[in-house]
Structure 1
Amino acid sequence: MGAMKTPGVYIVEKNAFPNSVVEVATAVPAFIGHTEIADNRSKPLSFKPWRISSMAEYHQYFGFGPNPRFNIAVKSDPSALADFKAAGADNKLTEYVFEQPAGKDGGRYTLYNAMRHFFQNGGGPCYIISVGDYASDLDPDKFGRGIDELLKEQEPTMVVVPEAVLLKQPDCIGLQQAMLQHCGDKMRNRVAILDVWGGDKPRNDPGGDPVDLFRNSLGINFLNYASAYYPWLNTTVVGDKELSYENIATADVLQQLLRSELGLPETAPDGAALKDKEQIQAIADITKDWSKVEPAPTDDAILANKALLNKTLMTISPLFNTIMDLVKGKLNLMPPSAAMAGIYTMVDNSRGVWKAPANVSLSGVVAPAVTISAADQEDLNVTTQGKSINAIRSFIGEGVLVWGARTLDGNSLDWRYINVRRTMIMLEESCKLAAKALVFEPNVANTWVTIKSMVANFLTGIWKRGGLAGAVPEDAFSVHCGLGETMTPDDILEGILRVTVLVAMVRPAEFIEITFQQQMQKS
């Protein structure tokens, strides 16, 4: 208020309460990968973090999934076809194996299906960074550039790159190290969810233990800002209706196999039965070029004819159904990072960020790719090096559960648990954003009292919701600020206001011990 010079009555309003601290969002993952398009009304979205909240919005800005293509190749080693035989394939196929080329040749991009799995498991608002379309090859440098683009965004709290495991193992590890550096060194307000390269294989795989390879390659920097999960998951994301004979790139081999199964020649001889003629024609139509049909059919007519042909092949050939089941199984084998981002979101929304995202069932999952027992998990959970890998296990009558809640810094008493790391990030960011209102305020007792009250009120609310441990607020936290307490006269001269906050974090009951002992009969 200005100086009073004219006689009269003047009204002065004073704020009675400090500013409140608003809790920041805790479950906003950022996904980096390849998309069909990246467009917002003719404005390109490539390498631009873009916020969405549903698959409908994803379709609007980034299109749909790729068209996966599989080669049926001759393989002389029958042991490589164990999965094919297990699916009930005919003995005639013991010399064949299905291969999906990486990158554009095979449509092997997994971000789209990962997003579907994310929303299946409770996902919500998230960011998408498109690093290329389906005509681009997988390039570690582009993924790294996508991570760098996140430096401009304050909201994301998780970084997920589902397609990292499609790279070669050294490139995958290099990308994951870049994720760790981004989270733990550059931003310090988010965590990375990592997949184990080759996590679909058992630990006794002849090619090497994927978990040991992951641990030995990753390094030791910023491990408390990341978590990793093993094994991969057999999911139900891709359905039967999404696949057809067009997913087989080697159509000539497919025709040969189907004719061999049904005992049919390439062309119908004179006097052949009508049924044989129809089957021969259906198999021949697999390689039909619809662009040369006269008169030229409409696009809708072409789609209808292809759907009818696929249905016919499913009807006449059990072998074709087996092939489609195998293709579907390979597409549904997915790394768990996207699903875990959905689990983090669901647990945060229902229980709070301080609840460990474990002992929770996964949706859209048939079974883990590798069966893990309690004994198998011992080395995953507790190791001398401290790089804890969280297990995903199947339990009878309960389904597939997340059975681990540790960061990669498993030997640290401070940052062993994911919920502790993420809760601390939430507290730090919330108080940091609220304290910006006091920057350049007088560094005096009134400001100190204001900031202490502001932080204490916020922490009291978190304690009431179960986010801090303690029977009373005084046991759960304390806030210190003042000359001689957290600051020296030199600090004030240098313009520094120091606040010290002590919090008692909630840690999960990872091991529960129930002791039984016999006692003497009393009656």
Structure 2
Amino acid sequence: MARLDYFAPGVYIEEIDRGSRPIEGVSTAIAGFVGFTEDVRGGAELFKPALVTNWTQYLNYFARANSDGFTDFNAYLPFAVYGYFMNGGGRCWITSIGTQLPGAPKPPETQATSLRITGRGNRPSLRFNIRPEQIATGAIAIIISDSGPRALPEGTEGDIPPNTGEYFKVQIRRGDETLEEYDNLTMNREPNAQFATYAIAALRNSMFVNIEDISQTGQPLARRPGNGQYEITIPIVQAAPDRFSANFEGVRDDRTGVRGLFEIDEITMVACPDLMRAYQSELMNLDQVHGIMELMISMCEGSNSGDIPNPPNRMVVLDAPPDCPKPQQVVDWLNRFNRRSMFAALYYPWIKVPNPRDRGNPISVPPCGHMMGVWGRTDETRGVYKAPANEVPRGVIGLDYEVNFREQELLNPIGINCVRKFPNRGIRIWGARTLVEPDKTEWRYISVRRLISYIEKSIELGTQWAVFEPNDEDLWARVRRTVSNFLERIWREGALFGATPEQAFYVKCDGELNPPETMILGRLYIEVGVCPVRPAEFVVFRISQWNGVEGE
């Protein structure tokens, strides 16, 4: 920045920022899911969203130890998340609404607050139990790591015994907080107290856990617990069925349920696959299901209009009810739901995927998770401007109903995107429309809605530097240059239509938009117009006979 005062003669070097600040495009494919999971552990909380970046991390948060992550009551969320990652999805946020269907008989549990740690050869070593008074405070992690014999006090004569590998350390943690730590432990029941402590004796007075030696006979090294981080989970109390709908919706201030998911700014697409599981189990009737769908759509619309303080760059992927397998039935259901929005998309029919809990036999699941994975894959390989259609959904082995051409002529005009099976081409997504009103043709396509949201959010975040700058023509020119450079970049990538940048977009920021009366109010107005590319949904060849004679 230029100095305003010079006192001593000399040469002064000043760095001046004359270039425009580039706008970086925001992430467009970060999903949010709400549904049932097999477990909630590893720091994840019931009804609250947790960030998951891959399937292994999902298992760490929402599956029991050494489990495949799916559930015995066939919850749809694990299938949706698995399909999301398989099809190219990246980060996602997951909100668990329970590990059992409310009202279902509780499965037999064997000491839910107990942890069994094994040693060499997978032989039993130690058992930890949370003290009853600590159960309400949350899960506890046990960390076993290497240690050695205790050092002799300074000035004491004698030799320290060799480290035979039998010594270990126990840390008790909750989250990132270390609650207790015990070092120089051994499984030797009669150790030399000068160098080590029997593990049971050391933890006898722990405030958080009870410990039990379950090892068999053998040397202390053979009975030593294996290194690692282990968790003692807390039994999850299932909500009453009459509270299920309210818990599903959640509370914004508590960051729970669907409302809590919308408080995560980076999420750009949302789905609730287990809405249909709740409907099938009669936990919710159809009107309650419509209520949650309406809530998701309204929150997307409210964010875009500014009524709700959330990012205006989200879409909802809906699923048709399971009792609407045929085209006319899904049309009748959509007419009953009677909700139109450019921020919603609907796919039909349900898809069939292998069920690991049934020896790999097919199970019908809602398509939302796989579809959002394809959205992410298309964004990554082509760009957000490419319609996520004519793509093969990975992991799909069949469809609940095979839609033909004439049936799609009924569904496509009202915004129902079909997943179809084609001879020699496999199963493909054969639709790319939003659920907007049919007469609003400018918002007909998913790719157009998401492209405009991408441009809006990128410009919003990329021009924050302009806030509180002097509102003069220099600022106007810098803003025009910054936004124009960003739009020209995405035009060159193929996102905007036009032979030249002037045909593809314009950026206006001048005295006409910013008269003195608005400047007095501290406002700067910039007008941006773009011409998005649209998918070639109908490819028409006009063929006629030609005799090859010139002039005819």
TM-score normalized with structure 2 length = 0.67
Shift of 1:136: 4.0
**CA deviation profile, 1:131-152 (whole Å, cap 9, x unmatched):** 2222646722222112211333
User: Are 1:519 and 2:546 counterparts?
Assistant: yes
1:65/1:169 CA distance change after superposition, 3 Å: farther
Q: Map of 1:330-341 to 2, 5 A cutoff?
A: 332-341=363-372
User: Are 1:463 and 2:494 counterparts?
Assistant: no
Q: Is the 8 A contact 2:76 2:366 kept in 1?
A: no
User: Are 1:219 and 2:339 counterparts?
Assistant: yes
Equivalent position of 2:326 in the other structure: 202
Equivalent position of 1:356 in the other structure: 387
1:452/1:343 CA distance change after superposition, 3 Å: same
Q: Map of 1:87-486 to 2, 5 A cutoff?
A: 107-134=73-100, 136=102, 139-145=244-250, 146-166=257-277, 167=279, 168-186=285-303, 187=310, 188-198=312-322, 201-203=325-327, 209-220=329-340, 223-236=341-354, 238-239=355-356, 242-243=357-358, 328-329=361-362, 332-382=363-413, 387-409=414-436, 410-484=438-512, 486=513
Superposition RMSD in Å: 1.9
For 2:378, the aligned partner's letter is V
For 2:371, the aligned partner's letter is M
1:133/1:196 CA distance change after superposition, 3 Å: same
**Equivalents in 2 of 1:218, 1:62: separation in Å?**
35
For 1:133, the aligned partner's letter is T
**Equivalents in 2 of 1:515, 1:414: separation in Å?**
26
Q: Is the 8 A contact 2:59 2:69 kept in 1?
A: no
Q: Is the 8 A contact 1:199 1:232 kept in 2?
A: no
Higher mean C-alpha displacement, 428-437 vs 513-522: 513-522
**Equivalents in 2 of 1:181, 1:458: separation in Å?**
30
* Gap regions ≥5 residues in structure 1: 69-106, 245-324
The structure with the largest helix share of the pair is: 1
**Equivalents in 1 of 2:374, 2:316: separation in Å?**
14
**CA deviation profile, 1:494-513 (whole Å, cap 9, x unmatched):** 11100111101010011111
- SS of 1:129's partner is strand
- SS of 1:114's partner is helix
Equivalent position of 2:113 in the other structure: none
Q: Is the 8 A contact 1:224 1:407 kept in 2?
A: yes
Structure 1 segments, 4+ long, off by >6 Å, are none
Q: Is the 8 A contact 1:358 1:403 kept in 2?
A: yes
Q: For CA contacts below 8 A with separation 6 or more, give which structure has more relative contact order.
A: 1
- SS of 2:95's partner is strand
**Equivalents in 1 of 2:270, 2:517: separation in Å?**
40
**Equivalents in 2 of 1:199, 1:479: separation in Å?**
50
* Gap regions ≥5 residues in structure 2: 104-240, 251-256, 280-284, 304-309
**Equivalents in 2 of 1:389, 1:346: separation in Å?**
21
User: Are 1:4 and 2:115 counterparts?
Assistant: no
The structure with the largest strand share of the pair is: 2
Q: Is the 8 A contact 2:49 2:261 kept in 1?
A: yes
State, as a whole percentage, how many aligned pairs show the same letter. 33
TM-score normalized with structure 1 length = 0.70
1:189/1:389 CA distance change after superposition, 3 Å: same
Shift of 1:199: 6.0
